[in-house]
Amino acid sequence: MFKDMSFMFPLATVNLTNTRIRTLTNLIESNGGQMKLGPDTLMIVGSDATVELCQKQFAKFNLDFEQYRYQFLNPDWVSQSLLNKKLQEQKKFQLFPEVVFQPVLEEVPEFKTKLVYVEALAKTVPVREEVVEQDDGDINIYNIKDNELRMKYEKRMEEFRRDILKEYKQILDYEYDYDLDNFHNQVDDGYEYLLEDLSILKKEEPQIPESEKFYGDDDCQITETRKVKFDILDGLDLGKSVVNVEQPILSAQLKETKQFNPGLKRKQQFWEAKKGYFVCEAGAAQKCQNNEIIEELEKLLKIYTNEKDKGRCIAYRKAIGFLKALPYPIKSSEDLKDMPTIGDKIKKKIIEIMQTGKLTKVQKLEGQEKNVAISELTRVWGIGPTTAATFYFKGIKTLEDLKKNLHLLNRNQQVGLQLVKDLEQRIPREEATLIFEIVKREIDDLSGVQGLFKATACGSYRREKETCGDMDILITRCDGKNTEDFLLNLITRLEGKLLTHHLTMPKRTEHDCETYMGIGRVSNQAVHRRIDLKLYPKEQYGCAVLYFTGSDHYNRSMRLWAQKNGYTLSDHGLYPTQRGAHNKKLWKGEVIPCEEEMDVYKILGLKYKPPKERSV
């Protein structure tokens, strides 16, 4: 129940961008408040503390909180509505008719749109930005030769145009229950259309001198969306008079990334110069020289993880990764000059650490009751920052409190709680080896043929760490044949010998992989350990070991590099990928076969790193 107060804003009058709304949501929700965002209103429920927070945050935004606070609501009503999930359903919060909405589309760039002047409406409307390959102009996909067919087609196109315009009008008139993003999704659904066809005229593009233009490897350039409503042609017997209606244009025309990924060369050249910034290229330093700084920054990272401050998490993680790759110690602020990932704020913090050995910020935050509680609660497997925070606001602050509230935990969390003391201990390498041996023996016994299945111990074990947080074992069938039920049988056989608890059972994914997560121990007296078993088909082995060996930050770095170079890298494979504005995926090609880790490094143009050097 929310005994506290609540207030709401008509979004129309508050200049809150997406980013700001996200910041605000995070802030409020991580402090026990609630925030609901409707298409036109922003509602906040919380205590006095929440109000204070909002005031501060608004001040940071340079906004006067009091001016915008619209009204207080009856807390009982809000409690009821939240409990009944009414608010989520009420798109417009019609229960507050006194709120006057004023459209300010330009001021609230809610969606990834650009503003386009629509002549027919005599208004500027936001239109989602899209890019697509432009062919050299010779191929006209509406190349319908038969006149009658053409007229039929054009008639339909006309109707379609009218519909779209009507919808746009509705949006603008607020008759439509609008959610522009959704609207575009709906339009996307089955439709493809040309902006020109909607009489939406583009603003003049800025003139780029010919010398600065880049037309891509194959003299083609993505400039604008070219869309066709596919089902508009349904029922028309077009014979062969229409080119390319069968396939979406993107996949039909962009066969070879290298050839058809426009601007890729320039992009790759650009990132090549910054290759050193990627820790996957630099690799971990043989001996880490900046442990003191790293330890302190990691504390801050942990705090921000608990606070769910995604942006800062990323920033600190990158900075830490970079320091781990640095082969020399930082001695003075001179050393910090021009270091990537280390900006003004982090630089200042590093200097403070060098001078005093610690951070006042950490001291301040670490001691706060809420952070203490969340750190404590997230020790349990299955409880993350959000769950921990909700527990905290229910007054559950320690593991002891959790034990009294077992009904609030799911099965896995209960196991996690029961074994928390065991699971947070790291595994000595010898014991890890023993676990691996047990699994390997069972694999051979089960398959009946020595070496038919290959098992690889990955994770920190493969990176030659002295202790491991858990066991990560990757299994593949060397002859590439069917592995139906193998993992399940393996687990059943290991139940008496190693495994004690199951967390998730194997299930085929769309990529033909299976994952088991569980807990086991080498003897009845031994400590319980987390054990992950993964079964991947042989074709995916290269990418799978690469992924499962990590470290997590190393993976992210490598995947970012792949992204910047026109690929997508995952545990299943390496794919050529074309991205448009805002890194939106436009096209994903066929998987590039990589049976070995080395294949991935070669294709990405990165130096091979032995596992040991991947501990960034």
Partner DNA sequence: TAGCAGTCATC
Partner DNA sequence: GATGAC
Partner DNA sequence: GCTA
> Residue 8 or 457: which CB sits closer to Mg ion?
457
Q: What are the percentages of helix, strand and coil residues in the chain, rounded to 5? A: 45, 15, 40
Name every residue whose Cβ is closer than 8 Å to that of residue 234 and which is 6 or more positions away in sequence.
none
C-beta separation of 399 from 420 below 8 A: yes
Answer with the entry of Mg ion, ligand DUT, DNA, none that 559 interacts with (C-beta below 5 to 8 A by kind): DNA
C-beta separation of 135 from 216 below 8 A: no
Catalytic residues: 349
Q: Which parts of this chain interact with ligand DUT (CB under 6 A)?
A: 459-460, 468-470, 472, 547-552, 555
Q: Shortest Cβ contact with Mg ion: which residue?
A: 459
> Residue 278 or 547: which CB sits closer to ligand DUT?
547
Q: How many CA atoms lie within 13 A of 257 on its CB side?
A: 21
Cβ at position 317, least distance to DNA in Å:
8
- Tokens 């319908």 sit at which residue? 144
| 3-class secondary structure, 574 | strand
- Per CB under 5 A, the segment of 166-174, 294-302, 421-429, 469-477 that binds Mg ion is 469-477
**Residue 431, interface with Mg ion (CB under 5 A)?**
no
**Which two tokens mark 172?**
């603008």
Pairwise CA distance, residues 397 & 400, whole Å: 8
Answer with the entry of Mg ion, DNA, ligand DUT, none that 310 interacts with (C-beta below 5 to 8 A by kind): DNA
Cβ at position 409, least distance to ligand DUT in Å:
22
Pairwise CA distance, residues 461 & 532, whole Å: 13
**Residue 262, interface with Mg ion (CB under 5 A)?**
no
Cβ at position 548, least distance to ligand DUT in Å:
5
> Residue 284 or 380: which CB sits closer to DNA?
380
- Per CB under 5 A, the segment of 113-121, 201-209, 471-479, 575-583 that binds Mg ion is 471-479
Cβ at position 436, least distance to DNA in Å:
15
Burial 437-450 (b: 16+ CB within 10 A, else e): ebbbebbeebbeee
Q: Shortest Cβ contact with ligand DUT: which residue?
A: 550
Write the single-letter amino acid at 153.
Answer: Y
Count, residues in the chain: 616
Sheet strands (E) in 359-477: 427-428, 453-457, 467-468, 471-477
**Residue 518, interface with Mg ion (CB under 5 A)?**
no
- Per CB under 5 A, the segment of 253-261, 334-342, 468-476, 478-486 that binds Mg ion is 468-476
C-beta separation of 576 from 257 below 8 A: yes
**Residue 459, interface with Mg ion (CB under 5 A)?**
yes
Q: Which parts of this chain interact with DNA (CB under 7 A)?
A: 17-19, 109, 112, 274, 310-312, 314-316, 318-319, 340-347, 378, 380-388, 410-412, 416, 459, 470, 472, 504-505, 507, 509-511, 513-515, 517, 530, 532, 552, 555-556, 559-560, 562-563, 568-572, 582-584
Chain-centroid distance of CA 292 in Å reads: 30
Binding site for Mg ion (CB under 5 A): 459-460, 469-470, 472
